[in-house]
Structure 1
Amino acid sequence: MTLFICIATGILALATVLPLWRNPHWLVRGLDFPRLQLALIALALIPLQIFLIPWTQPTFWIVLIVTLGCLCRQLWWVLPYTRLWRAEVKHNPNAKPEHNLTIMTANVLTPNRQADTLLALVKKHQPDILVTLESDQWWQDQLDVLEADMPYCIKCPLDNLYGMHVYSRLELKEAETRYLVEDDIPSMHAQVILHSGDAVRAHFLHPAPPSPTENPESAERDAELVVVAKSVVESDQPVVVTGDLNDVAWSATTQLFRKLSGLLDPRIGRGMFNTFHAKYPFLRWPLDHLFHSRHFTVSSIERLPYFGSDHFPLLTRLAFTPNAKEKQEEPSTDRDEKSWAKSIAQEQEVGADDVPEPGE
């Protein structure tokens, strides 16, 4: 039993330390995902170590200290996404209706045929904007019934699991679909006009994940996030970036995106809102995201019910609150992070100038 505990502790330590290496290989970057699960494994190992290894053995103290170190490291990443942390974005439940911006993001899973269930969720929650990922021509045919109430659309049906659609009640200006890093992976960009007349710069993203079946490295995903971040940080407009980023909220690369862009995460201090995988409760991570500039406060954020996909939809209600800018601190980068971001973009030969700037 002591040997088993030592082996398990060694594997836990390796899984904790390996992501510190900035290597983009999927085996390394994939360990950013299960930080909560690894923390739970550490918690399970501690009582086993206490009760099954004699305290007089040096092995006991080694494995216990290593496990406690792993636990603290994993919690350091995930605790901000719990109610134990101070909320990064101010709560604003009483915003004027004309200042509201409600966005539903839904990765539909291309083979899923429960379009009626998703349409029912749209009817119930009445988002201003619906963003769908993995939507092909079949999904477009089903979703086009929304155009009666959501006439402003951007459509890119694809059969490669990277189709994307935007349906909006609010006017969309300068809408554009762009392939930023990979020729078959689209992103969408537009200026959203609120009922108040205020303009919001919006970017809808779905970069490919690092995986043995798609991209063996995260380099393409990371480059897309980096160049969008560099593009929006210079904008004086209110900004929203949303989509399935195929990265967890607490990863080093998502944190780099937030620091480069200066955008806020309304989940910090409120919850993880794990949207994937919908069918396996123990293997759930926050893959669907919404980030915004300091011009907004948040009215609510919630994970919506299952609709047949491997993702749950995410519904975020923002309130345009320009006077909140000075009360909300934006993240910032250091020199090392800027250098890392520069190398990521240069490797993929893409820059911030490649990102559309609607309204600028």
Structure 2
Amino acid sequence: MGSLVTLLPLPEVEMLAHFRLHWCLVCLLSSIWLLVFKRKWAWTAVLAAGIHAFPFVAFSMGQGKPVSPFTLFSANVHRPNRSVDKVMAAIKEANPDVIILIETDHWWVEQAHQALTQHYPFECAIPRSDNFGMMVLSRLAGDINHLELGSADIPSIIMRLEHDQKPLTLIATHPLPPISHHTTRLRNQQLDDLAQYVAGIDTPVIVAGDLNTTIFAHSYARLVSNAKLRHAGLGSGTYATWPSYLGIMGIPIDHVLVSEPLRGSHFRVHRNIDSDHLPISVSIGLTNQP
């Protein structure tokens, strides 16, 4: 039952909240052991496992199907990684209309530009020598610009585009990881600024990237609540993107979020590209369904 403290909206325990699947398994195994040996608290452990499992059940619930969708691909390439062939193979497999690449330095920007610009003529690149460069490439026409959110001096990218004769706004962002009290505060500030910015946009919105938070965290819940967003992967089941070597036992920190009346379908986690993150893709479109 002590694991249920991770449900509290306290910054001191949010790091533990990211590992909801692991807590669920611990409680489940504990309940089996307690039941086999007929110990007290067995059903309490079963209850705790059920509480931890609830977000996975809720995330697997379906949503309305999008009409005339386009595909978005997002990958944190991991700046020191040089396996560009694996990244391009994942992009080819997804066949996206819009590509977001995160942690791009000058080398990555040059490689992506050479390989993709012929088919993705609309481009915005912010190369950096740290882990907060970013690049958006699109074969859908639109205006792409830099966007500053929060006070950490980390760039985001905003793209205003049209799809199926409807205006849309895409925001690609990558807040700081919550590895200390200071970076957690800056991450939360960026996510809060993002929510406020999205709330003021008069078109349907897509937010995508490595958000350095999970669907189990209160920072994520505050973002989707204040910005009125939903995860584009709803109905696809649980997933994990980091660290890549753990596969499904990792945690989901790469996301695609959409506002009404957008919906997602065919949400997918792609194969390892030698990054510490796994890439994701999803088809997005408008829907009249609730």
Would you say same fold, with TM above 0.5? yes
Check conservation: 2:240, 2:249, Cα contact below 8 A. no
Separation in 2, partners of 1:171, 1:47: 56
Give the CA deviation at 1:157: 0.9
Separation in 1, partners of 2:18, 2:133: 24
> In the TM superposition, what whole-angstrom CA distance separates every residue of 1:176-217 from its partner, at most 9, and x where no partner exists?
2233223442211120222x33221111111012114xx555
Question: Percent same amino acid among aligned pairs?
Answer: 24
Choose the corresponding residue for 1:124, options 88, 93, 97: 93
Choose the corresponding residue for 2:59, options 61, 77, 81: 81
Name the residue aligned to 1:205. 173
> In the TM superposition, what whole-angstrom CA distance separates every residue of 1:52-109 from its partner, at most 9, and x where no partner exists?
4xx4xxxx32x32442342132123332123xxx32x3124xx44xxx3211000001
Separation in 2, partners of 1:266, 1:176: 23
Is 1:16 the counterpart of 2:16? The answer is: no
Q: How many residues align?
A: 289
Separation in 1, partners of 2:262, 2:152: 33
Give the CA deviation at 1:234: 3.7
Choose the corresponding residue for 1:178, options 136, 139, 147: 147
Name the residue aligned to 1:90. 64
- Which amino acid in 2 is paired with 1:285? I
Separation in 2, partners of 1:184, 1:234: 22
Separation in 2, partners of 1:191, 1:298: 19
Choose the corresponding residue for 2:126, options 153, 156, 161: 156
Q: Which has the higher strand share?
A: 2
CA-atom RMSD, angstroms? 2.0
Whichever of the two has the greater Rg, that structure is 1
Separation in 1, partners of 2:183, 2:93: 39
Separation in 2, partners of 1:257, 1:246: 12
Separation in 2, partners of 1:106, 1:204: 11
Separation in 2, partners of 1:291, 1:29: 21
SS in 2 for 1:224: helix
Name the residue aligned to 1:303. 269
Separation in 2, partners of 1:17, 1:73: 12
Name the residue aligned to 2:239. 273
Separation in 1, partners of 2:152, 2:217: 25
Give the CA deviation at 1:19: 4.4
Separation in 2, partners of 1:210, 1:16: 21
What TM-score results when the alignment is normalised by the length of structure 1? Answer: 0.75
- Which amino acid in 2 is paired with 1:14? G
Separation in 2, partners of 1:123, 1:282: 23
What TM-score results when the alignment is normalised by the length of structure 2? Answer: 0.92
- Which amino acid in 2 is paired with 1:205? T
Check conservation: 1:156, 1:165, Cα contact below 8 A. yes
Check conservation: 1:35, 1:78, Cα contact below 8 A. no
Separation in 2, partners of 1:41, 1:209: 26
Name the residue aligned to 1:47. 32
Structure 1, unmatched stretches of 5+, are 1-12, 329-360
